[in-house]
Chains A and B, each alone.
Chain A
Amino acid sequence: GAVVSQHPSWVICKSGTSVKIECRSLDFQATTMFWYRQFPKQSLMLMATSNEGSKATYEQGVEKDKFLINHASLTLSTLTVTSAHPEDSSFYICSARDSGTDSYSGANVLTFGAGSRLTVL
């Protein structure tokens, strides 16, 4: 089945530094990937839609200069948290849909990565 890999699975950094999280579709191509953030005991919040070869689309209230997204290939999207602060500490999760899947066959399913836990000191 479809697999999405995230790296790193956890990271600790100092306040003011930048952190990059990678999201890879291992056995399929994904023209669109999605980035979510999840705080403890809360649901997933969609941050942005990552589009291969074009600019990401950010949800309302998400700072695009703070959370840089690059989708340079059909299998890789990266999220960079710039000038991280303690309030950015969270669980970041990406997801992707197989571009080769016929959406009308009922296979409009998103595959999620295992998540990346960021702790900013």
Chain B
Amino acid sequence: DAKTTQPPSMDCAEGRAANLPCNHSTISGNEYVYWYRQIHSQGPQYIIHGLKNNETNEMASLIITEDRKSSTLILPHATLRDTAVYYCIVRPNYGGATNKLIFGTGTLLAVQP
């Protein structure tokens, strides 16, 4: 899997947008960008994923640069419940035993009241 680089921590004010960056300069053509988050003492939760187009769902938006070497996860209106470690992972989008997720160190987002 391609390696990703994320800042270790970020702060965000409640109600403001949280923009979490991720660098994946060695991403290959068949690899998607996935974002998961882990709230303290819980299992990770899927947020969103994309290949090259920007994506949006009920949780967040994903902006991928044209060269695909970096991306940004956007939480449009952060709440205290969004405080968590956010993981950016790149991997091929096919199933099977190679479908494993390798987690990096992620970004600890602290939403401040």
Contacts and interface: CB of A to CB of B under 8 A. Distances in A.
Interface of A: 4, 6, 32, 34, 36, 43-46, 49, 51, 57, 91, 93, 95, 97, 99, 101, 103-104, 106, 108-115, 117
A57 B106 CA distance: 25
Interface stretch (B44-52, B60-68, B69-77): B44-52
A1 B98 CA distance: 23
A114 B106 contact: no
B37 to A, nearest CB: 11
A46 B93 CA distance: 19
Interface of B: 32, 34, 38, 41-46, 49, 85, 87, 93-97, 99-106
Contact of A44 (B41, B93, B103): B103
Contacts of A115: 41-43
B100 to A, nearest CB: 6
Contacts of B41: 91, 115, 117
A44 B41 CA distance: 12
Given A43-B105, A108-B99, 15 more contacts: A32-B95, A43-B104, A43-B106, A46-B100, A46-B101, A95-B101, A103-B94, A106-B93, A108-B95, A109-B49, A110-B101, A111-B46, A112-B44, A114-B43, A115-B42
A51 B97 contact: yes
Contacts of A44: 38, 44, 103
Given A91-B41, A115-B41, A34 B101 contact: yes
